[in-house]
């Protein structure tokens, strides 16, 4: 047989274009069937925040309307125009590492991330009993990563000499290392990534983990985000952008989303992480099911480096996609945890986006609040902590307030649950996170 004949004989028989189209339709239907029948539930929550060093303390602080914003204690702010932030205080990261040496070789952002991830894992009971660890993924992101490590070693380089730069500088600094180390700690061999989309990082991490479970690429994920940027470089960078509140004389009142007196956001730090699982996987092991994650939306503003689209068009598309995935109508959602940063433009744009996405329901029945009024803006960790508020609003029928809302901006004309938590049945809640660069992410959770 000739070489040409050998090659031709290996080709599959041709059945014409109709056969190919039929095959494509069958594959599409099979794929849609898989996606529809793989439901994803939340089985564990972990958090470290300015309101407390675990998820329960954070939630209690939100319900109480308690501010975690104070004068900065971790650095000298004498030369800075901003002297306030939402810091994580009295936090002992060493208890979350089996090897103290590992802890010393990691940045604070990773300490916070791994602590929250370990709490979520313990809450879920995922590693108790039989578990195929190659079907468990980790998706722990950070908007900025190891800024503290970069600062320390840059000083060593400039003030001393190159040999004084730590050999661990790069692995300590990069944003994916928390995700990698956590998988090593627990031998989780499933998909492992770290998303960096500024303040949308945690929501994108949870959303993409949801998508991978829906695709069948994993049975469970530990997913969320962390940030530790209350440092000279971080504070100076945001302050010089004129993005931060300078209400230094009254820290607890500084973060005031939707209020006419807002003058910028307040920096925060922390971590928020979920354990999410395919429903049957969770049921088989008798896991606690806290809520069902049913919708995920993402979009780009494609507009400006730091400013949102003035009409909120990208944010609206993002929320609408989450509703579509969840197969919900606007009136099926009772609560939106807003991005609500307390910036003059951002709060107006998000309010417009909510009205565009939810139509008449935005004013007729939807309740919106910004828990950043209490925590400050946790940047890449924000969505991971704020989805906690959505899940617990469903579980306890309580919507946390927007504190410091004393004189509501007429251009922010929704019900923002001003100053006091509200008891109301919540069957579905949506969490928004929008980042510099025009990155938008919305997550939708429902009562299971």
Name the active-site residue from 111, 204, 309, 339.
Answer: 339
Residue 57 has pLDDT above 70, yes or no: yes
Q: Kindly report the number of other CB atoms within 10 A of residue 54's CB atom.
A: 18
Q: What is the arithmetic mean of pLDDT over 257-279?
A: 98
> Do 268 and 375 meet the contact criterion of CB atoms below 8 Å apart?
yes
Q: Cα–Cα–Cα angle for 50, 112, 148, nearest 5°?
A: 95
For the residues of 184-244, what is the DSSP string, one character each? HHHT--S-EE----GGGHHHHHHHHHHHHHHHTS-SEEEEEEEE---SHHHHHHHHHTT-B
Q: What is the average pLDDT across 194-215?
A: 98
**pLDDT on residue 145:** 97
Going from N- to C-terminal start, the domains of the chain cover: 40-446
**pLDDT at residue 36 is higher than 80:** no
pLDDT for position 229: 98
The mean per-residue pLDDT over the stretch 428-433 comes to 98
Residue range 22-49: mean pLDDT, rounded: 76
At 84-98, the pLDDT tens digits run 999 999 999 999 988
**Radius of gyration of the CA atoms of the chain, in A:** 23
Which pLDDT score is estimated for 342? 98
What distance in Å separates the CA atoms of residue 243 and residue 397, rounded to the nearest whole number? 34
Cβ neighbors of 52 (< 8 A, separation 6 or more) are 58, 60, 61, 68
Residue 129, pLDDT score = 78
Which residues are 267's β-sheet partners? Answer: 377
Contact 107, 88 (CB under 8 A): no
Average pLDDT over the chain, rounded to whole? 93
Verify whether residue 339 is a known catalytic residue: yes
| Residue 25 confidence (pLDDT) above 90 | no
What is the pLDDT, as a whole number, of residue 163? Answer: 93
Question: Sheet of 136-142: strands edge to edge?
Answer: 192-193, 136-142, 220-227, 270-278, 40-48, 291-300, 439-446, 428-435, 335-337, 367-369
Q: Specify the 3-state DSSP secondary structure of 327.
A: coil
Kindly report, residue by residue over 129-178, the tens digit of the pLDDT.
789 999 999 999 999 999 999 999 999 999 999 999 999 999 999 999 99
3-class SS shares of the chain: helix, strand, coil, % to 5:
45, 20, 40
- Topology of domain 40-446 in CATH is Peroxisomal Thiolase; Chain A, domain 1 (3.40.47)
Q: Mean pLDDT over residues 222-251, rounded?
A: 98
| pLDDT at res. 99 | 84
Mean local confidence (pLDDT), 340-351: 97
pLDDT band at residue 6 using 50, 70 and 90 as cut-offs: very low
Q: Which of 6-10, 283-287, 290-294 has the lowest mean pLDDT?
A: 6-10
pLDDT given for residue 15 in this prediction: 59
* Residue 102: per-residue pLDDT: 84
**199 annotated active-site:** yes
Please confirm, yes or no, whether 309 is among the known catalytic residues: no
**Which residue of the set 186, 204, 281, 377 is catalytic?**
377
Residues 108 and 74: their CA atoms lie apart, in Å, by 12
Task: Please compute the mean of the pLDDT values over residues 7-36 and round it to a whole number.
Answer: 56
Q: How confident is the model at residue 101 (pLDDT cuts 50, 70, 90)?
A: confident
């Amino acid at each position: 047989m000739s070489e040409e004949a050998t090659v031709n004989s290996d080709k599959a028989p041709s059945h014409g274009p109709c056969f190919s189209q039929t095959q494509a339709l069958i594959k599409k239907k099979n794929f849609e069937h898989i996606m529809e029948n793989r439901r994803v539930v939340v089985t564990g929550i972990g958090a470290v925040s300015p309101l407390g060093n675990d998820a329960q303390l954070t939630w209690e602080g939100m319900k109480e309307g308690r501010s975690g914003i104070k004068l900065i204690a971790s650095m000298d702010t004498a030369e800075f125009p901003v002297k306030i932030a939402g810091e994580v205080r009295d936090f002992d990261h060493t208890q979350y590492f089996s090897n103290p040496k590992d802890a010393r070789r990691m940045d604070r952002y990773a300490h916070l991330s791994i602590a929250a991830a370990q709490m979520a894992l313990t809450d879920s009971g995922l590693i108790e009993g039989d578990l195929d660890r190659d079907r468990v993924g980790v998706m722990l992101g950070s908007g900025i990563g190891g800024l503290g490590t970069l600062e320390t070693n840059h000083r060593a380089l400039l003030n001393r000499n190159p040999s004084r730069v730590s050999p661990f500088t790069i692995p300590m600094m990069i944003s994916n290392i928390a995700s990698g180390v956590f998988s090593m700690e627990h031998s989780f061999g499933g998909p492992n990534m770290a998303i960096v989309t500024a303040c949308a990082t945690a929501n994108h991490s949870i959303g993409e983990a949801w998508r991978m479970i829906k695709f069948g690429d994993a049975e469970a994920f530990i997913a969320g985000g962390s940030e530790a940027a209350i440092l000279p470089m971080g504070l100076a960078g945001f302050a010089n952008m004129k993005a931060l509140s300078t209400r230094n004389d009254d820290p607890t009142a500084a973060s005031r989303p939707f209020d006419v007196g807002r003058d910028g956001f307040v920096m925060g730090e922390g971590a928020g992480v979920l354990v999410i699982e395919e429903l049957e996987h969770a049921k088989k092991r008798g896991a606690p099911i806290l809520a069902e994650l049913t919708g995920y939306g993402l979009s780009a503003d494609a507009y400006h480096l730091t400013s949102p689209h003035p009409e909120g068009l990208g944010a609206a598309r993002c929320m609408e996609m989450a509703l579509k995935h969840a197969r919900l109508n606007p009136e099926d959602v009772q609560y939106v945890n807003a991005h609500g940063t307390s910036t003059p433009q951002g709060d107006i744009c998000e309010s417009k986006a909510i009205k565009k996405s939810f139509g008449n329901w935005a004013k007729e029945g939807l309740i919106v609040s910004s828990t950043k009024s209490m925590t400050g803006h946790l940047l890449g960790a924000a969505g991971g902590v704020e989805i906690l508020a959505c899940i617990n609003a469903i579980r306890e029928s309580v919507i946390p307030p927007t504190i410091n809302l004393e004189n509501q901006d007429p251009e922010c004309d929704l019900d923002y649950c001003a100053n006091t938590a509200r008891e109301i049945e919540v069957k579905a809640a949506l969490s928004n996170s929008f980042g510099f660069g025009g990155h938008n992410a919305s997550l939708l959770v429902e009562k299971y």
